[in-house]
Amino acid sequence: MELKRTPRIPQESDLNRIVENIQKSIDEDRKQATSHQIESNPILRAIRESKIDPLEEIKRPPVCLSMFFESGNGVIGTLGNFSLIIGKAKSKKTFSISMFLASVINGNAFNKFQGQLPIDRNRVIFFDTEQSKYHVSKFHKRVCKLAGKTNPENFDSYSLRKHSVQDRLKIIDYVINNTPDLGFVAIDGIRDLVMSINDEEEATKIASYLLKWTEEKNIHIITVLHQNKGDNNARGHVGTELVNKAETVLSVTLDQSDRKISIVEPEFCRDKEPEPFAFSVDENGLPFIIENWSPRQKNENKALVPHLISAEEHWANLKQLFEKYPEPKGKDVVAFLKSQYNIGDNKAKEFRTYYLDQEWIRPSGNRNSPINHYILSLGS
């Protein structure tokens, strides 16, 4: 007959503690099994990494580029996010980037800008998808001059125009993922990283790349996109997607009263927005901030409507016009109004049309004739 052996537990043992130790062992085995399961399953790993722990203290992202004003600093970019510059063609968007890059390369104040990259991650990279190698080299040297350095060790530029759309994206991806001291990236021409600017799938794809690069490498990326010709919206589905995901959106427009001046304004900011500012380009091709410029100048001109101005003021201006030009041609009227109201060509022509509609002035003959001039109506 087989004898059954019963485990002997010493009488002095604490049964509750034994049970507790066994349960701990089982729980530990389960945790290890679950941990192994998570590490081997990308989706489970992503879920674990994405879950917010309310007890975890998450610090505010460090500011890497800001602007300072009397009212305090305005944030352009923080590490782990991307920003977007939009504007019409030839509005000098690339010139604005050169000032930002000069600041982050130096790691200190430049004009109104303050660059603040970590010491161990202060490399700055510029990718251009539109310009030739000659013009990208010219841009690189311009940034160096602004930074006051002949050849800063922490600044690299790449001209990607000759490469295919797919290869441009691969090159940027490789450089970003294989530059350990990287802190700041500028991509001039994000549109050239997609086949179609109106493809929703590609728009989502390029936005996902920007979010992935910035979060995984803890860098800031600033990129550029054209605005639509008919309005001020960023172009296509790509524009819509990037505006929705960007930390900061800045617009660059030409001042209608002086097209040598470009105005930079915040369109959307997740942090304290920077104040609008204006800049121009000197004889050496270097951008500079226009001091004492006020955003009210632009807003007032934009809202300037002829029928909201008193007839007395209009007549006073017309008398000055005809005193200066006894027989003013169309270009003389436009030039006078531009100077008088600090407005652009289109707005000045709007005033001229208003004066014609009111019959305060009339053409001497055929308006398209080169010898035509304007006559002030009787009773003035």
319 and 279, same structural domain?
A: no
pLDDT at 73: 79
> 234 and 367: one domain?
no
| Residues 191, 288 within the same domain | yes
CA distance 341 to 303: 12
Residues 265 and 358 in one domain: no
C-alpha separations of 184 from 63, 93, 117, 221, 269 in Å: 11, 18, 8, 6, 19
pLDDT (tens digit per residue) in 181-209: 999 999 999 999 999 999 999 999 999 99
Determine contact, residues 181/222, Cβ cutoff 8 Å: no
- Is 28 inside any structural domain? no
The larger pLDDT score, comparing residue 376 to residue 153, is at 153
The CA-atom distances, in angstroms, between 226 and each of 199, 249, 338 are: 16, 12, 28
Q: Domain holding 84: CATH number?
A: 3.40.50.300
Token pair, residue 70, equals 């009397």
Instruction: Judge if 126 and 257 occupy the same domain.
Output: yes
Residue 131 counted as domain residue:
yes
58 falls within a domain: no
Together in a domain, 146 and 265? yes
Query: Does residue 299 carry a pLDDT above 50?
Result: no
The pLDDT value recorded for residue 16 is 66
- CA distances in angstroms from 205 to 77, 122, 169, 170, 237, listed in the order given: 22, 27, 11, 13, 11
For residues 285 and 330, membership in a common domain is answered with: no
pLDDT given at position 315: 87
In a domain, 14, yes or no: no
Of 271, 293, 315, the residue that ends a domain is 293
Give the end of a domain, one of 243, 265, 293.
Answer: 293
What percentage of the chain has pLDDT greater than the value 90? Answer: 42
pLDDT digits (tens, 9 = 90+) for 81-92: 999 999 988 899
Instruction: Assess whether 287 and 309 both reside in one domain.
Output: no
Please, are residues 140 and 149 in contact by the beta-carbon 8 Å criterion? no
Residue 256 has pLDDT above 90, yes or no: no
Query: Same structural domain for residues 250 and 353?
Result: no
Does one domain contain both 253 and 342? Answer: no
Confidence band for 103, pLDDT divided at 50, 70 and 90: very high
Q: Residue 225: beta bridge partners?
A: 86
Judge contact between 322 and 328, C-beta under 8 A.
yes
Q: Check the CA dihedral 133-139-143-149 and report its sign.
A: positive
In a domain, 278, yes or no: yes
> Does 350 fall in a domain?
yes
Residue 33 binned pLDDT confidence (cut-offs 50, 70, 90): low
55-74: pLDDT as tens digits: 778 788 889 999 887 667 78
Among the candidates 274, 293, 312, a domain finishes at 293
Residue 368 lies in a domain: yes
Domain-located, residue 69: yes
CA dist list (Å): 180 to 102, 154, 214: 21, 12, 13
> Both 226 and 340 in a single domain?
no
On whether both 286 and 323 belong to a single domain, the answer is: no
Residue type at position 208: S
* CATH code at position 333: 1.10.10
User: How many independent structural domains does the chain possess?
Assistant: 2
| Residue-wise pLDDT tens digits, 222-245 | 999 988 776 667 888 898 899 999
Q: Which two tokens stand for residue 296?
A: 């009210």
Full domain range(s) for residue 321 = 304-376
